[in-house]
Amino acid sequence: MADKEKRQGLYLAPTRVSYNTAVNRSQIPMAKEAKEDNGEERPEWTGKLDFLLSCISYAVGLGNVWRFPYLCYKNGGGAFLVPYIFMLAFAGLPLFYLELAFGQFSSLGPVSIWRISPIFKGVGYAMVAISMMVGIYYNVVIAYTLYYLFASFTATLPWLTCNNPWNTDACIQDRSVLSANTTNTSLTNSSLINGTAVNHTGVRPVSASEEYWRNGVLQLSEGFDYPGEVVWYLCLCLLLAWLLVFFCLIKGVQSAGKVVYFTSTFPYIVLTILLIRCSIMDGAIDGIKFYVTPDFSRLQDAEVWGDAGIQIFFSLSVAWGGLISMASYNRFSQNCYRDSIIVSTINCGTSIYAGFVIFSILGFMANEMGVDVKDVADKGSGLAFVTYPEAVARLPISPLWSALFFFMLLSLGLGTQFAIIQTIVTSIIDEFPERLMSKRMLVTGLVCLVFFLLGLPCITQGGNYMVELMNDWSAGFSLMLIGLVECVVIAWIYGTDNFFRDIEMMIGFRPNRWWWLCWKFLTPAVLLAILLFYLIGIKPAIYGGRLEFPTSGQALGWLMTLTSLVVIPLPGIYYICKAEGTFMERVRKVMKPLPEWGPHLEENRELDERYSKKGIPLADYRDADNTPNIA
């Protein structure tokens, strides 16, 4: 068997090789760029800060501003930090570190990286599938932000009054009236007509900012089954959003690495300015107290722990493929351990910091309206495009604050979108490096064009229903399953001993026993618990908290979830069918690392005999059809 494996290029040197001393850092080449097999250069980050700021820009996104503060309010205020930090320590940070080390060691994107165990290559395809679905609707949200940004350049903000063409008789400018009427008006058996809930008792009052959002911006149709026409000004904003993405990624990480110096730092400047300005406004302290006052009784609720785990997954952007993709452009000797600690800490700190800003704004707004903070707290797009605009409209020099706020949202959104599209482009190019490495600009342009076209249904009159559906169903269960599989493959199939030695080759020291315990036992157990919480909490898709999607919408939501799940086993089934021998022999064979697995540069492979020419024959393992020869 051993001779046969040697001839087929599947032989690995024994893993228990004397490796007790730390790697000599002077042996690690500091080459600026790695060469692909066809001689084309694989780009790298031009500086250490480029990568670090790109990770921060990717991880710190819109969810830090409009999801985390709401979850704190919903799940016990300051008490929510207990499960949040627990999930960070036992699930988020271990996976974040794993993905950075995984991508940096191999210099490969999330699909090609599964040379480590070809049977699981479908996990890489699932990562890309999720990134594709999210990339489509995420830029639509950026298009909304652009529209609000442009609308801010006026003397009077258009969502402040009720005397506009898009307003109805239900429009009110005083939300305290809205709160009182909502309390007294039953919404049972209500239907959605022109953005207003109507029942037998009359028309539900709607705030001016909500009517601007639903009628003036979205031109929202009656329901999911009524897509209507393309909203032309949103189409132009979507086109502009994709042009921004393309031109910032035109040279790959070398151009994106410069843009993130702005997109990763500007939001903090705006958040700080808003915090200082709003903290001195009447009612701000009440909002902050509402945000941080702990209700420890909520920790007995399993849903609170589930929300914390899911938020960590979305907040750190683990299992999306983006971290692997960005780390693959690192120098081999980059200290990925330090980077993972820094980025994770900054990300979670940003969520908490943003909460103070948001609830100081909501406290001021509640004081102005004479209502409780809970009456103005919201989540998602309702918070970003209804509540926030209404709040900044009440500040002195409101157009200035509005422009700053939406420019901050634009920076947050673009930083995340850059990484999402870079992940997709990297995955395509790494699968066909001989043909596409020199055509990176063309690939990026085609991806942006195709995604722009796929996003057009999202900017029709019924498009926001699709956006909300994709936001709720395109990622979630799939992400947690991918993270679980990723952890099991590295820790149990490839082995923590091998992975620890790989990390030592890069940074000069092995991870301590804490990481061994997390990757083998604690993190998989926590991920299984989060999966259980998620499955228990699944509910029918609802729009705006009160309008349930029709059967077609529910089916489409499940289809989006299943799309990323179905692709996971397919490559493994193909490789098993292609291999020779009994079924178990085939399975064992396709679970082994391929000969090309390991560091990208030959100089780095020589640092460990598992990857040197003495340990692994460097013969081409691909057939004429460019598929792995694993027979």
Q: Which residues are annotated as a binding site?
A: 59-60, 64, 315, 347, 412
Longest CA–CA span in the chain (Å) reads: 83
Residues annotated as binding site for Na(+)?
Answer: 59-60, 64, 315, 347, 412
Q: Is the CB of residue 271 less than 8 Å from the CB of residue 408?
A: yes
Strand pairing of 171-172 and 206-207?
parallel
Whose CA is closest to 447, among 430, 467, 422? 422
The Cα 465–Cα 68 span in angstroms is 22
Residue 460 DSSP SS3: strand
Q: Among all chains, which residue has been given the structure tokens 């080759």?
A: 505
**Distances from the Cα of 86 to the Cα of 91, 253, 347, 348, 591, angstroms:** 8, 33, 15, 12, 33
Strand segments, DSSP code E, in 10-148 are 34-35, 41-42
Q: In Å, how far from its chain's centre is CA 607?
A: 34
Residue 308 dihedral angles phi and psi, to the nearest 5°: -65, -45
Dig out the tokens for 345 from the structure: 């800490």
Dig out the tokens for 163 from the structure: 């005397």
Render 305-348 in DSSP notation, one character per residue. Answer: HHHHHHHHHHHHTTTSSHHHHHHTTS-TT--HHHHHHHHHHHHH
Segment holding 590, helix H or strand E: helix 583-591
Q: Is the CB of residue 476 less than 8 Å from the CB of residue 310?
A: yes
The Cα 210–Cα 196 span in angstroms is 10
In sequence order, what are the residues at sequence separation of 6 or more whose Cβ sits closer than 8 angstroms to the Cβ of residue 277? 395, 401
Q: Where on the phi/psi map is residue 192: left (φ > 0), alpha (ψ -120 to 50), or beta?
A: beta
The Cα 522–Cα 48 span in angstroms is 31
Render 389-427 in DSSP notation, one character per residue. Answer: HHHHTTSTTHHHHHHHHHHHHHHHHHHHHHHHHHHHHHH
Q: Where on the phi/psi map is residue 514: left (φ > 0), alpha (ψ -120 to 50), or beta?
A: alpha
H-helix segments, 432-536: 433-436, 440-455, 463-473, 477-488, 496-507, 513-517, 523-536
Question: At how many degrees (to 10) do helices 440-455 and 232-248 cross?
Answer: 160
Indicate the Cα dihedral angle 288, 292, 293, 294, nearest 10°: 170
The Cα 355–Cα 349 span in angstroms is 10
